[in-house]
Amino acid sequence: MAKVERKRTLNDESLHEFLREMLLIRRFEEKVEERFRAGELPGFLHVDIGQEAVAVGVCRAMEEGDIFASTHRAHGHALASGTHPNAVMAELYGKVEGCSHGYGGSMHLYDVEHGNFGANAVIGGGLPAVVGAGLAFRMRDEPRVAVAFFGDGATNIGTFHESLNLAQLWKTKTIFVCENNHWAESTPGWQHSPVWDDMSKRALAYDMRSIKVDGQDVQAVWEAAQDALEHARGGDGPVFLDVETYRMHGHYIGDPQVYRTREDRDNAARHDPIERLRDRLGVSDDEFASLDAEATGIVEAAVEFAKNGTDPQPEDALRNVYA
């Protein structure tokens, strides 16, 4: 996994790289929407637009050997952790060159080499495994951490509670990254959780350390993730990252969002993490246009790569069932 910084502060160069990465995710996701609507991508997809700073901030704080479990909204995590855009795009096209070789798809991106032990399409489904991996790291005394990404919707399912309890009880080398975008599919936070506006109360119930962070501020996310990872890595126990973020698009591509007010969507748009970082760094229009062109070029190339990829043979479906 690409290591950006060990220090607790980021220089402008690193932040520029974060901007480049976030922009790449944004353009990637926009392209995915476009190609899905054009009928080129099978299945159904969930894009990360609005939540790029969480993916980049957390993944760039991880170190070589750290692993993570992702969610149905997985593209950003995969890209930010170092999986080549070609491999992610090829997976979405169901090609052999895809990061899961066509077996997984959008909701099951894997890339073990970059620490990605799988995106999960069952809400909360990947959490217990992250506890188990963190337990293994502890038992073997390895300086590694297992990271779980999940949304606010996952905080109501049994695996979440059982996982937090066990992780804290056994002080596993685990961090829980709650991407609170205030929506469980179409159900708003206030309809699904009594503590929807302060998820750290969930961690409190398990006596777990929590850190609240603005998920639209990539620097803040990176710093919080650094803090959490070091805490867990040192064997001091798991940490709950309570990340406030915004889902700028629908739950899935094509979601008409009939359940969502114009005001709410406008509010999310006002919390664009890319605009925010751009302003902070004082990136000029020309410079931004150049970054944008670079990201767009990478994404276009990824689509070309994917379209020219190899289709699996039908009977390949019978491989990889057993080790």
Choose between 113 and 236: whose C-beta lies nearer to another protein. Answer: 113
CB 187 within 8 A of CB 153: yes
The window from 32-40, 104-112, 178-186, 301-309 that contacts another protein (CB under 8 A) reads: 104-112
Q: Would you tell me how many other CB atoms lie within 10 Å of the CB of residue 264?
A: 16
β-strands 183-184, 187-188: how paired? antiparallel
* Cα–Cα dist 257/259, whole Å: 5
* Cα–Cα dist 70/74, whole Å: 6
The window from 34-42, 53-61, 283-291, 314-322 that contacts another protein (CB under 8 A) reads: 314-322
Output the smallest distance, CB 5 to another protein, in A: 26
Closest by CA to 105, choosing from 151, 178, 160, 36, is 36
The verdict on 185 binding another protein (CB under 8 A) reads no
Output the smallest distance, CB 122 to another protein, in A: 5
The verdict on 110 binding another protein (CB under 8 A) reads yes
The stretches of 181-320 forming alpha helices (DSSP H) are 189-192, 200-205, 218-233, 262-269, 273-281, 285-307
Position 118, amino acid: G
> Which position among 32, 67, 208, 225 is part of the footprint of another protein (CB under 8 A)?
67
Residue 152 is classified by DSSP as G
* Cα–Cα dist 273/231, whole Å: 26
The verdict on 68 binding another protein (CB under 8 A) reads no
The verdict on 98 binding another protein (CB under 8 A) reads yes
Rg of the chain on CA atoms, in Å? 19
* Cα–Cα dist 289/185, whole Å: 33
> Which position among 57, 85, 102, 237 is part of the footprint of another protein (CB under 8 A)?
102
The verdict on 321 binding another protein (CB under 8 A) reads yes
SS3 state at 290: helix
* Cα–Cα dist 72/172, whole Å: 24
The verdict on 122 binding another protein (CB under 8 A) reads yes
Choose between 2 and 169: whose C-beta lies nearer to another protein. Answer: 169
Choose between 169 and 289: whose C-beta lies nearer to another protein. Answer: 169
The window from 114-122, 175-183, 206-214, 224-232 that contacts another protein (CB under 8 A) reads: 114-122
* Cα–Cα dist 167/208, whole Å: 9
Binding mask 138-167 vs another protein (x if CB under 8 A, - otherwise)? -xx-----x-----------xx--xx-xx-
> Which position among 101, 182, 247, 271 is part of the footprint of another protein (CB under 8 A)?
101
Q: Would you tell me how many other CB atoms lie within 10 Å of the CB of residue 223?
A: 18
The verdict on 50 binding another protein (CB under 8 A) reads no
Output the smallest distance, CB 22 to another protein, in A: 26
Q: Which residues bind another protein (CB under 8 A)?
A: 67, 98, 100-104, 108, 110-112, 117-118, 120, 122, 125-137, 139-140, 146, 158-159, 162-163, 165-166, 169-170, 319-323
